[in-house]
Each structure stands twice: as C-alpha cells, then as structure tokens.
Homo-oligomer: A and B are copies of this chain.
Amino acid sequence: MRTFSDRLVDTLLKTGSPCVVGLDPRIDRMPSFIKSGRTGNSARAVIRDFHELVLDTVTGLASVVKPQLAFFEQYGSAGIQAFEDTVQAAKQRGLLVIADGKRNDVDSTAEAYAAAYLGENAFDVDAMTVTPYLGGDSMIPFVDACREHCKGIFIVLKTSNPGSSDYQDQTLQKTGRPLYETVAETIRDFGDGLMGESGYSSIGAVVGATFPEEARCLRALLPNAFILVTGYGAQGASPEGAAACFNEDGLGAIVNSSRGITYSFGNENVTKGAFVKSVRENTLRMCDEITAALAISS
C-alpha cells in the first residue's frame, strides 16, 4: 500500500479540494428531520444518519473528513459505535479519515493508542492527531504504526486558541526561539524517516490558521510535512491565514471546517433538501475562498 502522504496527495489532486469536513456530532443542534420519529436511546442511529447524509453530500467536494472524538465520546459507548459507523461510511465513499482525538501517553499506553486507531483491529482510520507534551519518545509508537500500516499522524504544534501562547509560544533559553519550533524539529525528524514518493512525509502538524505569521514560519521549517489547518470559519481564521500554511505547489496543507459546514443550515426545521444544499454550498464556498487566497499569495 502507498504511504498515507502519497494517498493524501492522490486524493487532493483528484478532487482539487483542500477541504477537510469536520464531523462533530451534536444531536441537539441537528435538524429535526434527522431526529423525528425515533424512540428511546437512538443516539447511534441519529449520528449515523446525519453523517451519512453529510458524507454523501461532500464526497467529491472534499478529500478528507475529520471526526472529532470528543463529540462522539459525550454519547458514551453508543457514540463510539456511531464513530465506527462514521469511519466505515467515509471509507466506503473513498474519503480519507483523520480521527481527531489528540491522544498520547508514554510507553505501552502510547502503543495501545496507536494500535486502537492506526492498527487493523479496532478503528483503523487513515490518520490521527497526537499531542506532544510528553516528549519525543511518546510519539515513537505512533510513528512506528504509521510505517507498519501506511498511516499518518498530525502532531499538535501551534493551536488556534488565545491560550496557545501560554506554553507553545514560550521562548526557550536553549534556542532563543519559541517552544513550538522545538516541537516542529521533532516532527521534521520523524517525517524524514517516513517520506513518500510525493516528497511529503506521513508525519504532519496541526496548526491554527488564526496566527498567519507563525504559520508561515512553521511552513518554512517543515517543507515536507502536511499541515492540518484548524480554526477556519467558526474560530475566526481567514482564507489568507489558511493560505499561509500551503507550499508553492498548492499542496502541503488541508483545511478543516466543522460547524461552518455541517451546522450552518439555520433553523432546526430545515428540510432535507435545504440541509444538503447548505452543506454543499458551505463546502464549495470554503474551497473557493482558499483557492482564491492561494492564487493571490502565489
């Protein structure tokens, strides 16, 4: 099988879309037509039906979907069953799946997380997000699993929230540079050992597009890494901020929007047709905005 990075490049070239559709199940915000006529505890079925409709709509318009585990976990094991359904449905439609759970731990526990998401026995997604605070050795089991199973990881590097300055931006005495640059060096080193034919590695970075200057710096530091760009839309990042995360070849970044695509349909009494139209138009608009910003910046 081809590396994750090569499979990602393949699908990006095929769809022409750098859009990642974030799947954050929030049943209370879903349209009434999805929920009506059900009885009892039907969280799993509601989430499955909602996502199948979203997936049918965005197939061909987006390259990747990013289910956010927190929103599934809030429905307990029924939510995790819905996560399994969602992953399956996305893969059946040829979409790549990044499980966003920002997992990590030390030692054999990191191995268990890598097995859970990147191995073949449990969730078996294409890539997952990983946090760095525990240090380089905590990431090795994930990198090893990427190599073994042709999967990818995106290591959390510089997040989109104001508090990302608390620790990530702290200048280190040793380097005179922010902490996130030291984390970026770890990402680069792991990536050097996992390079695809495309010239991109399967070890990516999560970067918030709310800080374009930092994004430009990280883009330069990590020329061969894919950046998973967050904060677009609802969190206030601009198309220009997202464009700063791309390479000149128009690749090297994928941009996530969650609420901006799936929950911007207005009133809960929206019809199925109007909901589908809203998801479709929001995805296309985001794609157009980023493409336009890339054309200006290049």
Contacts and interface: CB of A to CB of B under 8 A. Distances in A.
A288 interface: no
B74 A115 contact: yes
A107 B161 contact: yes
Contacts of A162: 135, 137
Interface in A90-114: 100-110, 112-113
Given A70-B105, A134-B161, A135-B166, A79 B122 contact: yes
What interface size band does chain A fall in? Answer: 35 or more
Nearest to A230: B106
Interface stretch (A53-61, A174-182, A196-204, A211-219): A174-182
Contacts of A24: 108-109, 112
A169 B29 CA distance: 43
Contact of A73 (B104, B113, B132, B172): B113
A171 B172 CA distance: 6
Given A133-B132, A135-B159, A165-B135, A112 B171 contact: no
A39 interface: no
Contacts of A102: 103-105, 131
| Interface-central residue, A68, A101, A133, by most chain B CB under 10 Å | A133
A133 B121 contact: no
Interface in A253-296: none
Contacts of A137: 161-163, 166
Contact of A74 (B71, B83, B121, B135): B121
Q: Assembly of this chain: how many copies?
A: 2
In this complex, the member of A101, A134, A168 whose beta carbon has the largest number of chain B beta carbons within 10 angstroms is A134
B70 A113 contact: yes
Given A80-B77, A103-B70, A179-B179, A134 B112 contact: no
Interface string A63-79: 00000101101111101
B133 A70 contact: no
Interface string A174-193: 10100100110010000000
Max count, chain B CB within 10 A of own CB: residue among A83, A138, A166: A166
17 contacts: A24-B112, A68-B109, A75-B122, A76-B80, A77-B80, A77-B84, A79-B122, A132-B133, A133-B159, A133-B168, A134-B163, A136-B163, A137-B162, A138-B161, A138-B163, A167-B183, A171-B172
Given A24-B112, A74-B113, A100-B105, 7 more contacts: A68-B112, A77-B83, A79-B122, A102-B131, A106-B161, A106-B163, A167-B183
